[in-house]
Amino acid sequence: MTNDQSHLQRAIALARANVAQGGRPFGAVLTRHGKVLVEAVNEIHLTQDPTAHAELLAIRTASRQLGARLDGCVIYASGQPCPMCLSAMYLCGVERVVFAASNAMAEPFGLSTAAISQQVGLPIEAQHLPIQHLPDASMSALYHQWKTLHDPE
């Protein structure tokens, strides 16, 4: 078994155990340079937190260990990561994602996030969720203040 296959099988085993404990069929394994750093499962059933996805929990735990950048890390997930989890992966610099079940496979079970992916890919004004932009000029000064504090040249 390749490392990818081994880590992916572990994510699936975590998902299987989570289902047995009343949770959703989602598990994730986060590795860095081939070494397992974090294992996580979807905890929505325990916390009622809709963001408690396995991948996001793995990222949160790994970030506490390594900092906000997870360069060199790979996430193995039992299911196709949702847009929220993918966004977090982009934000923290995850190097690669490997998953087992696609949204197409998950769709008949009500577990696909393809519709959400489609919505967030649309321009703001075309999305179903009403999103209103109220510009505030003071934000520019706040952004400049932040840049000065975090990028002193």
**Would you please indicate which residues are annotated as catalytic (active-site) residues?**
55
Treating both helix axes as pointing N-terminal to C-terminal, what angle do 54-66 and 83-92 enclose, rounded to 10 degrees?
20
Mention every residue, 6+ apart, whose C-beta is less than 8 A from residue 22: 45
Buried/exposed 27-64: b ≥16 CB within 10 Å, e otherwise: bbbbbbeeeebbbbbbbbeeeeeeebbbbbbbbeebbe
